[in-house]
């Protein structure tokens, strides 16, 4: 790059946690030159984890927006629609052209839908989604949730807390793919004890009706006042077509969070990594996005990053019980150690793996991530 | 600057501690402690990063 570092214009596209963390890190690393942010969420920038938990139960749980007042940032409130890597310009829906010397892509992902062409399918991704679902919950008595992953079970937990009759459907047992058989079974027990109906489908589940009236599971109709799809996400990278930066999996990044085009970095849910054997790895989790954003920001400034580009801490809530996890997933078989009671949702579970690594899970037990990390590193 | 903690929202994730380890400390039970009455100037940027990194929006800057 020929532009002196101090004058370099760093532009960040996207205003969720990856975008805002990159923005903050660019300033924290001492960059005093121009910084731009291109973002389109009508509610501004705010943390999303509460949207599938407290915010679905009560508007008092809505996240507060982040202030950018201290950052001296040029904000363009419009969706990015095209990237010109030759001229280094991001074109927006509103007709703006934003020039950059270094770019950080953090456009995230959107909820995958099962019936996009029909009325009445709810998803949870943005503040608007969450508010719409909360409003719908207030006049409903039953909900069908498609997908027994983290998001689906969080939505089920909120609906259960509101007193709705809840059915969760998936072709796999709850959280089996991520947490493995032991924890999956513990989660299923907790759901069953709370009378949340967990249904195992043998074929993909489809909503029926228009507007949607429920879901069809292996040919049997399960009517519901509300149908929520929690079936994964689609990276927002269509606007990058023609640049060679993105494919169907999203934006490929390396250990520096660099993309295929020099000067263009990426972080968060829009990204994926490819292992040496070609396996595509996506890690659409909060702490991972934070770590990637810091590395991408350093890359955009041509500096050494202050942390690794990954962080395996993540958490969820199973019917009000916080579950916090550090270490490789999914753990196979039974845990090496269990401290406390799983049935009372107050346990710490550990798996010692053959390669010397350790997975530590606080299942309802109040433990800090620092403690979990120290346990995982065998430092406590 | 100063920082307010909404302890009803705090779930003890500790990502604030990652961002500003001199200011935020979680004990082993996940209870958060703020080490300063008033945030020192050289910690302000780290604290603002911590506010942004909190996944439950439990931290807020007080002018």
Question: Any idea which residue has 């996207």 for tokens?
Answer: A14
H helix runs in A206-320, sequence order = 286-300
User: Mean pLDDT by 10-residue block, N- to C-terminus, for chain B (63 residues)?
Assistant: 91 90 90 94 92 90 81
Subunit contact A21:B61, Cβ cutoff 8 A: no
Subunit contact B28:A70, Cβ cutoff 8 A: no
Per CATH, the architecture of B2-62 is what? 2-Layer Sandwich (3.30)
* Type and span of the H or E element at B48: helix B44-53
- What residue segments make up the domains of chain B, in order of their start? 2-62
Instruction: Give the pLDDT band (50/70/90) at residue A212.
Output: very high
A contacts of B45 (beta carbons < 8 Å) = 24, 27-28
- Order of strands, edge to edge, in the sheet holding A264-266? A74-77, A35-39, A10-13, A102-105, A264-266
Subunit contact B26:A47, Cβ cutoff 8 A: no
A contacts of B57 (beta carbons < 8 Å) = 46-47, 50, 63-64
CB-nearest to B26 from A290, A315, A368 is: A368
Determine the average pLDDT of the residues in A338-347.
Answer: 95
The pairing of strands A10-13 and A280-281 is unpaired
pLDDT of residue B28: 81
Q: How far is CA A339 from CA A62, A177, A316, A376, in A?
A: 34, 24, 20, 15
Subunit contact B28:A367, Cβ cutoff 8 A: yes
Q: Say whether A371 sits in a helix, a strand or coil.
A: helix
Q: How far is CA A171 from CA A147, A226, A376, in A?
A: 8, 20, 31
Asked if the model's pLDDT at residue A380 lies above 80, the reply is no
A contacts of B53 (beta carbons < 8 Å) = 17, 21, 290
User: What tokens were used for A261?
Assistant: 């085009």
Q: A367 to chain B nearest CA, in Å?
A: 5
Q: Which residues of A43-61 are buried (b: 16+ CB within 10 A; e: fewer)?
A: eebbbbbbbbbbbbbeeeb
B30-45 residue pLDDT tens: 899 999 989 999 999 8
Instruction: Give the pLDDT band (50/70/90) at residue A366.
Output: confident
User: What tokens were used for A318?
Assistant: 């199973």
pTM of the shown model: 0.94
Q: B58 to chain A nearest CA, in Å?
A: 9
A contacts of B46 (beta carbons < 8 Å) = 28
Q: Say whether A59 sits in a helix, a strand or coil.
A: helix
Contact, A48 vs A60, CB < 8 A? no
Q: Is A20 on the interface with B (CB under 8 A)?
A: yes
Contact, A18 vs A268, CB < 8 A? yes
The pairing of strands A102-105 and A197-200 is unpaired
Contact, B24 vs B12, CB < 8 A? no
Subunit contact B49:A28, Cβ cutoff 8 A: yes
Instruction: Give the pLDDT band (50/70/90) at residue A64.
Output: confident
Q: Is B27 on the interface with A (CB under 8 A)?
A: yes
- Burial of residue A264 (CB within 10 Å: 0-12, 13-18, 19+) is buried
Domains of chain A: 5-110+233-300 (3.50.50.60), 113-229 (3.50.50.60), 320-376 (no CATH)
Query: Chains A and B: how many Cβ contacts under 8 Å?
Result: 77
User: What tokens were used for A274?
Assistant: 């490819």
Q: Is A267 on the interface with B (CB under 8 A)?
A: no
C-alpha of A329 from chain center: 17
8-state DSSP, A285? -
B contacts of A315 (beta carbons < 8 Å) = 11, 13
pLDDT of residue A3: 66
Cis amide prior to A330 (ω within 30 degrees): yes
Q: Say whether A328 sits in a helix, a strand or coil.
A: coil
CA distance linking residue A184 with residue A61, whole number of Å: 28
Question: Any idea which residue has 């399918």 for tokens?
Answer: A121
Q: B14 to chain A nearest CA, in Å?
A: 6
Q: Say whether A60 sits in a helix, a strand or coil.
A: helix
User: What tokens were used for A250?
Assistant: 């999203």
């Amino acid at each position: 790059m020929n532009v002196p570092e101090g004058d370099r214009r760093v532009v960040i596209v996207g205003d969720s946690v990856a975008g805002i963390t990159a923005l903050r890190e660019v300033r924290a690393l001492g960059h005093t030159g121009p910084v731009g942010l291109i973002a389109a969420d009508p509610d501004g920038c705010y943390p999303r984890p509460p949207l599938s938990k407290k915010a679905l139960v009560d508007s008092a749980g809505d996240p507060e927006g982040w202030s950018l007042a201290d950052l001296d940032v040029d904000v363009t409130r419009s969706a990015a629609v095209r990237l010109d890597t030759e001229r280094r310009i991001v074109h927006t829906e509103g007709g703006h052209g934003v020039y950059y010397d270094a770019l950080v892509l953090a456009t995230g992902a959107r909820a995958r839908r099962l019936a996009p062409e029909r009325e009445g399918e709810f998803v949870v991704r943005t503040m608007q989604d969450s508010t719409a679902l909360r409003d719908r919950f207030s006049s409903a008595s039953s909900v069908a949730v498609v997908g027994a992953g983290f998001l689906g079970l969080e939505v089920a937990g909120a609906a259960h807390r509101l007193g709705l009759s809840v059915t969760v459907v998936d072709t796999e047992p709850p959280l089996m793919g991520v947490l493995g058989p032991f924890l999956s079974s513990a989660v299923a027990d907790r759901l069953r004890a709370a009378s949340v109906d967990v249904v195992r489908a043998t074929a993909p589940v489809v909503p029926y009706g228009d507007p949607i009236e429920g879901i069809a599971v292996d040919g049997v109709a399960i009517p519901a006042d509300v149908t929520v799809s929690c079936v994964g996400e689609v990276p927002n990278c269509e606007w990058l077509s023609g640049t060679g930066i993105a494919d169907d999996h999203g934006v490929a990044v390396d250990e520096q969070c660099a993309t295929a085009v020099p000067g263009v970095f990426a972080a968060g849910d829009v990204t994926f990594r490819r292992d040496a054997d070609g396996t595509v790895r996506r890690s659409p989790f909060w702490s991972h996005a934070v770590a990637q954003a810091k590395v991408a920001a350093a890359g955009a400034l041509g500096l050494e990053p202050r942390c690794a580009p990954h962080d395996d801490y993540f958490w969820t809530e199973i019917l009000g019980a916080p579950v916090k996890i550090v270490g490789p997933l999914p753990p196979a078989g039974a845990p090496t150690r269990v401290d406390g009671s799983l049935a009372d949702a107050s346990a710490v579970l550990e798996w010692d793996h053959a390669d010397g690594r350790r997975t530590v899970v606080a299942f309802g037990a109040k433990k800090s991530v620092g403690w979990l990390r120290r346990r995982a590193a065998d430092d406590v | 600057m100063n920082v307010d903690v909404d302890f009803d929202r705090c779930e003890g994730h500790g990502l604030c501690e990652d961002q500003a380890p001199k200011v935020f400390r979680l004990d082993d039970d996940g209870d958060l402690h703020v080490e300063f009455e008033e945030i020192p100037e050289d910690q302000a940027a780290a604290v603002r990063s911590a506010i942004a990194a909190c996944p439950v929006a439990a931290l807020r800057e007080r002018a």
